[in-house]
Amino acid sequence: MARHLVSLALWLSAVIAPYALAEGAVRELVCSVNRTCDADGSCQDAGGDITFTMEPVTVTDDASGTYLIRYQDQQFAMQSLSFAGPFHWAADSEMNTLLASSDTQFIWHHLSLRPAPVARIQFLTCRFIQ
């Protein structure tokens, strides 16, 4: 497991970091939705594609900071903890987190807060393009 995490970190720093650190670089994360699960762990195969466009607003040297994220004709302020995420944003009453789990696999966690807290998790296969 530790070896896989080291491999992921090396890949992310070698491949993603140059794009993320380029001043004003807008990144696109092009994804296919593989599975959708509810908070109880019940999952079903899913389909469809989604593209996240990430435009830096105020970022540091490690690419953490504030971005605009756009997808499905929507735009939100997003926070990133590093060039590789995790990425956090609020969409109305829904909190979202996008987390890399490998060089091509991402998890998108949605937490709707109204009328009662309900979670949905989507497993994505993605690639960054610039």
pLDDT at 2: 52
Tens-digit pLDDT profile for residues 60-108: 988 899 999 999 999 999 999 988 899 999 988 899 999 999 999 999 9
Task: Express as a percent the part of the chain with pLDDT over 90.
Answer: 65
Exposed/middle/buried for 10, CB within 10 Å: 0-12, 13-18, 19+?
A: exposed
pTM summary value: 0.79
Lowest pLDDT segment from 2-11, 90-99, 121-130: 2-11
Beta strands 27-38 and 65-71: pairing type? Answer: unpaired
Q: For 74, what's the count of Cα atoms within 13 Å in the CB-facing half-sphere?
A: 12
Domains and CATH numbers, the chain: 2-129 (2.40.128)
